[in-house]
């Protein structure tokens, strides 16, 4: 099922033996756009703690976006402490994986390929030239690919020929925990609407300028099928979206 991250945030999350708190945020890998962690706000049950869990621990999400996980409250309480308002280091991730016996997802890239951050202003450096030094404010700390969904909401969206709107929401496919669409609100630029862009159609995220870079022109994005919160996703709708952008429909 396709779910809104905004609607998921703040909803109840329960362990096998009782309530844990609510969904605070999700962290996703900006290379694969897969959800790596769900951040839980434990509220009064575990004051002062926010906990990260892997989507592999989620048993189900109900129709009203309540989340059940296959962990006990003791497993959560004894998990490594993580500051979810700071970058998540690889050491943090190793500690979490070892505590919960989760697979280390980053070992999908044993050679390191695909794990470097997208820094758009460095992509067109002439061949053979000396490496360009990075300013301190663009050097990633922690895992350079691991990003908070709430951080990205509000980022400007840039088409090939200029700005077009801002990121309003991210839509999650809970069958595989991949972010399937970015909701783009175009109304900042003209009397517009909300439209969808798939991550595969982007050119990356410029973290320094807080922009999502889309590989389409403004008119194409502006004229895309309108998205309305809560609308039903079916094969006909997704085919229409993909065909508008000249792409092969998802799953076909």
**Residue 165 CA, distance from chain mean position:** 18
pLDDT, residue 190, reads 67
- With CA atoms as reference, report the closest residue to 43 among 5, 92, 76: 76
> What would the DSSP string read from start to end of the chain?
-EEEHHHHTT-EEEETTEEEEEEEEEEEETTTTEEEEEEEE-TTTSTT-EEEE-GGGEEEE-TT--EEES--HHHHHTSPP--TTSPPPHHHHHHHHHHHT---GGGG-TT-TT-SPP-GGGTTPPTTPPPPPPPGGGS--S-TTEEEHHHHTT-EEEETTEEEEEEEEEEEETTTTEEEEEEEE-TTTSS--EEEE-GGGEEEEETTTTEEEESS-HHHHHTSPB--TTPPP-HHHHHHHHHHTT-PPTT-
Q: Cβ of 66: how many Cβ atoms within 10 Å?
A: 15
pLDDT, residue 229, reads 87
pLDDT, residue 149, reads 92
Domains of the chain (ranges plus CATH)? 2-108 (3.90.50.10), 153-244 (3.90.50.10)
Query: How buried is 31 (Cβ within 10 angstroms: 0-12 exposed, 13-18 middle, 19+ buried)?
Result: middle
Q: Using CA atoms, how far apart are residues 57 and 100, in angstroms rounded to an integer?
A: 9
Strand-pair partners of 68? 14, 60
Q: Using CA atoms, how far apart are residues 76 and 185, in angstroms rounded to an integer?
A: 37
pLDDT, residue 2, reads 92
35-93 pLDDT, tens digit per residue, is 999 999 888 888 877 788 999 999 999 888 899 999 999 998 888 776 665 667 676 78
pLDDT, residue 93, reads 81
- Residue 226 is classified by DSSP as B
pLDDT, residue 134, reads 29
Residues in the chain, pLDDT under 70: 82-87, 89, 91, 108-144, 189-190, 250-252
pTM for the structure as a whole = 0.77
Q: Are the beta carbons of 67 and 58 closer than 8 angstroms?
A: yes
């Amino acid at each position: 099922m396709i779910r809104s991250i905004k609607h998921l945030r703040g909803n109840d999350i329960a362990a096998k033996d009782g309530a844990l708190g609510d969904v605070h945020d999700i962290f996703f890998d900006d290379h694969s756009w897969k959800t790596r962690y769900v951040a839980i706000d434990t509220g009064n049950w575990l004051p002062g703690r926010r906990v990260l869990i892997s989507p592999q621990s989620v048993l189900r999400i109900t129709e009203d976006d309540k989340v059940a996980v296959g962990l006990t409250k003791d497993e959560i309480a004894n998990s490594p402490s993580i500051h979810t308002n700071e970058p998540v280091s690889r050491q943090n991730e190793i500690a979490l994986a070892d505590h919960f016996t989760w697979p280390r997802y980053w070992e999908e890239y044993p050679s390191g390929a695909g794990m470097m951050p997208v820094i758009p202003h460095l992509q067109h450096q002439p061949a053979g030239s000396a490496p360009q030094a990075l300013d301190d404010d663009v050097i990633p700390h922690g895992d350079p690919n691991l990003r908070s969904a709430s951080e990205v909401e509000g980022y400007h969206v840039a088409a090939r020929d200029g700005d077009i709107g801002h990121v309003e929401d991210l839509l999650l496919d809970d069958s595989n925990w991949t972010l399937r669409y970015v909701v783009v609100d175009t109304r900042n630029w003209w009397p517009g609407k909300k439209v969808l862009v798939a991550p595969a159609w982007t050119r990356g995220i410029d973290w320094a300028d807080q922009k999502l870079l889309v590989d389409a022109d403004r008119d194409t994005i502006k004229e895309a099928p309108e998205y309305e919160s809560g609308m039903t996703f079916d094969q006909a709708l997704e085919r229409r979206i993909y065909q508008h952008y000249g792409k092969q429909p998802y799953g076909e």
